[in-house]
A and B are shown apart, each in its own frame.
Chain A
Amino acid sequence: MSEPSRDSRPAPASRAPEDMPAPGAPEVTGVTGPAPGAPAAGPAGKPQRDSTRTGPGRVLVAVYGLFALSATARAVVQIATKFSHAPVAYLLSALAGVVYVVATVTLAAGGPLARRIAVVAISVELAGVLAVGTWSLADKATFPDATVWSGYGSGYGYVPLVLPVFGLLWLRYWSRRHRRGLTAAARGSERA
């Protein structure tokens, strides 16, 4: 839940008066959490801190969680009950399930390391839905039964195709916001 301590570098806020964000560095307190010694909750007593799981990220985490649950459960049932029927399809279902679980957990965690893992997982997801989508249309014999990614996710309203795009855009927004925050922090400490 909390950011890895590695990232909570001493923000200039630690030198500023308490309850006052450092000038020019409001992003840093939002991204890296309260500076050491600062109260965990803001002045209004609201514990919510912005991260990849807040704002539009709530919807992303919800949809990713849904797919994590359904893809994993489906793969488990398929592999346990009729694996020989369509082994390739079922193994790909399992892979999709694992990728969705990793994406859900890392998006919900939201720290810098989690964001990096999320980029990898969601990139694999995008590559997977494109590759498996094409493969399933070209070679129908290998896919007598559908996977989440068959036909570019047509069985799921193409959500599997759209989801990684939104996920990567959201993560890009966060890496930019994080970088801007660090730059502002550096400028702030030069001035101080």
Chain B
Amino acid sequence: MASVNGAVPTTIIVAGLALAAYALLMTALNRRMGLVLLAALGVLEVLLLVLIGLVAARLASGGGRPASLPTLIGYLVAMPLVPLAAGFWGLLERSRWGSAVVAVGGLVAAVLMVRLHEIWPAIHV
């Protein structure tokens, strides 16, 4: 694998922002977190796991080194926790604010892609 294709990170940014927009709409409509948001978080989780696999494969194949390897590994460990934490914390809240928590999760996933690119430009966005 020569480089981490930009398709997956870009998809995660789009998915994260779309999820955040939909979750904020639910918050505005006073709807608590439901199955749709939970399923969307699941999709985001799968996308993040695919990306982690791609980045790990790139690291393992010796395709260059990021400026700070510990930081990159920290991101790879923390990234899949974002949708899990957002889903867990959002489900605990039985009000519109559970949906708002999911919106935060979507935004964070999108921002993480930009950060990942800064840490290691080989990860295209």
The contact of A77 among B71, B85, B95, B98, by CB within 8 Å, is B71
Of the A-B pairs whose beta carbons lie under 8 Å apart in the complex, a sample of 12, sorted by A's number, is: A46-B94, A55-B93, A57-B97, A58-B98, A58-B100, A58-B101, A59-B104, A62-B104, A66-B108, A73-B78, A77-B74, A157-B111
Chain A 71-113 against B: per-residue CB contact (8 Å), 1 yes, 0 no?
A: 0011001001100000000000000000000000000000000
A81 touches B68 (CB 8 A): yes
Any B CB within 8 A of the CB of A56 = yes
Q: State the majority secondary structure of interface residues on B.
A: helix
Contact residues in B for A48 (Cβ distance below 8 Å):
92-94
Residue of B nearest to A74 (CB): B71
B74 touches A73 (CB 8 A): yes
Interface size in chain B (residues, C-beta < 8 A):
21
Complex CA gap A55/B74 in Å reads 30
Contact residues in B for A73 (Cβ distance below 8 Å):
74, 78
Q: State the majority secondary structure of interface residues on A.
A: helix
Task: Give chain B's interface residues, CB within 8 Å of chain A.
Answer: 68, 70-71, 74, 78, 85-86, 89-90, 92-95, 97-98, 100-101, 104-105, 108, 111
Residue of A nearest to B95 (CB): A55
A81 touches B108 (CB 8 A): no
Any B CB within 8 A of the CB of A63 = yes
Contact residues in A for B78 (Cβ distance below 8 Å):
69, 73
Residue of B nearest to A108 (CB): B89
